[in-house]
Structure 1
């Protein structure tokens, strides 16, 4: 017959303390506990292979200690770093994250959110596919604490943790203009698909209008080949006869653009300028290094998790718009 699992009552008896003292230890409440008592309880737990009964704990506290996190594209390293940031905060509070992938599909996103709701998660961190808050009315009606990360909803219905996409895109566009480029070509996935890309492109449009700088847009998707990108590069630069800077709105797209330039022997910054919104410092691994706005996805994830914990502690916390700073890194990919 197998030995019965060690209980909290067993731990208290072996350690010579009360059950309440062991409970305080397990919940991290060490305020009135001596170092000797803490060390004794920790040793007894380790030696007797004691594990907290999370199901029982959840029933008592009416929590599951599960957090749902829904990202747009799990293949994008931005999502991995975003998750890591949230996890570093939540693991210290004994929460587990259930990571869901919407795979750039609004329909799949809804399915994943409904799965999380069926599991009665305590809260959700959402990188939304849609900009319309009406698409998330079902989540709002569930009264599940939710924090939006990386993107924005219109109108705003939850606290949002984002990059100031407009301000940083304005900054890099003005820098390109100041270097004397005649044309600025934006390379992006569908601009209307998410608020981050929309804000980045809108800032570029505003700068080009103000500076009388010719603006071109090259929209691509996962099926776009290097040959097709090359054809667009040659078209908008008039076969490299016009001094053109290419501004890529996403780190993974930047990798494809760099590969295309290399494949077709187009040198930057000598023949074209190159800049990007980058997600994870990939641009520093190539030569010449690329001028970028470097986001901080780990900080975005950490901040979103911290806000969610504050909402747990205070359900009436007001809705906020929190900006996580990015870094403008000037490298050798643009010239006067």
Structure 2
């Protein structure tokens, strides 16, 4: 093995092999020399044009870069060629299990295309959202997946005008033309209501965070109200911040203690609501199944609590991958202002003991 592969280099003065300074980066010229290729070929490999090289040459460049520990300078490449190979992702709450699961699908799709993912968390703060959008624009991201919390129409329109394709994750915005990728909320709520009615539950309490902050919450709440009316079910709604534990416990306790003999069930709008409802039911001493519980979003712990919690699982991996596919299609077509369209996925019902009377 050439000692240059082990962090050594040859002196230009006397030909002696000297250790490479630990802070010195391997250059593209060294990779080309090691691979027996031209500098142009190596540059093409790392700039997203590797398909122009033969499979054998691609393999030699990859192996040389691995042996030498070469990492391309993405920022320098972006400034020189106008392509950063970066995809930006803006999430409303990085602690939300749905956001983490979709992010994994986005990252996997980016990696397969030789792209890097830059994630910014707004923590449900519109001011942070605007700051992060400015940051992502400064890094010249080649596309942006957005799980919006506010209404940054002006900032997003500026990105569109600069030629940056956008994809909205779940939450729609009023004025920006962009594709929206997410769950078919109407069919998901219909599936939940049909399941609960079939299992004999006649009175339902719908639990959600305030819907005015996010369009998926609005869509799910409206479909719940329409659905209980169409099915002749009795329904109540509690849409308050989930951190207000006393108010949540009081609402659930009053619902369970209310008049009437029809079996009762809780329908939770997302994973955070399901967790809050499960804690409240345990503290109130309610038995799952006798009191029904169904949550939108499948979480790892749902199969471990009591008889198991019935959920509607979202295909989060597919949603994340579809978002990147939409970005790439728009970027390759050079069209960032085409009319918006929706890419909707279906939920899958996972029936467990919490809806088995």
TM-score by length of 1: 0.88
Q: What residue in structure 2 maps to residue 188 of structure 1? A: 208
124, 141, 145: which one aligns with 2:158: 141
Matches within 5 A, 1:225-240: 225=245, 227-239=246-258
Secondary structure of the 2:322 match is helix
Deviation of 1:206 after TM superposition, in Å, equals: 0.9
202, 218, 221: which one aligns with 2:241: 221
Deviation of 1:279 after TM superposition, in Å, equals: 4.5
Q: What residue in structure 2 maps to residue 314 of structure 1? A: 333
123, 137, 148: which one aligns with 1:103: 123
Q: 1:39, 1:100 → 2: CA distance?
A: 34
- Post-superposition CA distance 1:56-91 (Å, at most 9, x none): 322332022222211111111221112111111112
Q: How many residues align?
A: 330
* 1:187–1:218 CA contact under 8 A, matched in 2: yes
143, 147, 150: which one aligns with 1:127: 147
Q: 2:104, 2:121 → 1: CA distance?
A: 15
Deviates more, 1:158-167 or 1:102-111: 102-111
* 2:153–2:176 CA contact under 8 A, matched in 1: no
Distance 1:247 1:156, change over 3 A: farther
Q: What residue in structure 2 maps to residue 254 of structure 1? A: 274
Q: What residue in structure 2 maps to residue 296 of structure 1? A: 315
299, 304, 308: which one aligns with 1:285: 304
117, 134, 144: which one aligns with 1:114: 134
Q: What residue in structure 2 maps to residue 87 of structure 1? A: 107
* 1:147–1:160 CA contact under 8 A, matched in 2: yes
Aligned Cα root-mean-square deviation (Å): 2.5
Deviation of 1:137 after TM superposition, in Å, equals: 2.5
Matches within 5 A, 1:206-217: 206-217=226-237
Distance 1:5 1:195, change over 3 A: closer
Deviation of 1:293 after TM superposition, in Å, equals: 1.1
Deviation of 1:5 after TM superposition, in Å, equals: 4.3
Deviates more, 1:146-155 or 1:188-197: 146-155
Runs of 4+ in 1 over 6 A off after TM superposition: none
Q: 1:41, 1:138 → 2: CA distance?
A: 40
Q: What residue in structure 2 maps to residue 71 of structure 1? A: 91
Q: 1:111, 1:14 → 2: CA distance?
A: 43
Q: 1:76, 1:250 → 2: CA distance?
A: 10
Secondary structure of the 1:142 match is helix
Deviation of 1:248 after TM superposition, in Å, equals: 0.8
- Post-superposition CA distance 1:233-272 (Å, at most 9, x none): 22123358542111011112211211221122111212x1
Deviation of 1:167 after TM superposition, in Å, equals: 1.2
Runs of at least 5 residues in structure 2 that lack an aligned partner in the other structure: 1-17
* 1:174–1:207 CA contact under 8 A, matched in 2: no
Q: 1:83, 1:265 → 2: CA distance?
A: 36
Deviation of 1:15 after TM superposition, in Å, equals: 3.4
- Post-superposition CA distance 1:248-302 (Å, at most 9, x none): 11112211211221122111212x1111112435422222122221112222212
* 1:73–1:104 CA contact under 8 A, matched in 2: yes
- Post-superposition CA distance 1:95-127 (Å, at most 9, x none): 222211121222322222122223332221101
Matches within 5 A, 1:153-192: 153-154=173-174, 157-192=177-212
Q: 2:25, 2:126 → 1: CA distance?
A: 45
Q: 2:294, 2:63 → 1: CA distance?
A: 55
Q: 1:20, 1:107 → 2: CA distance?
A: 43
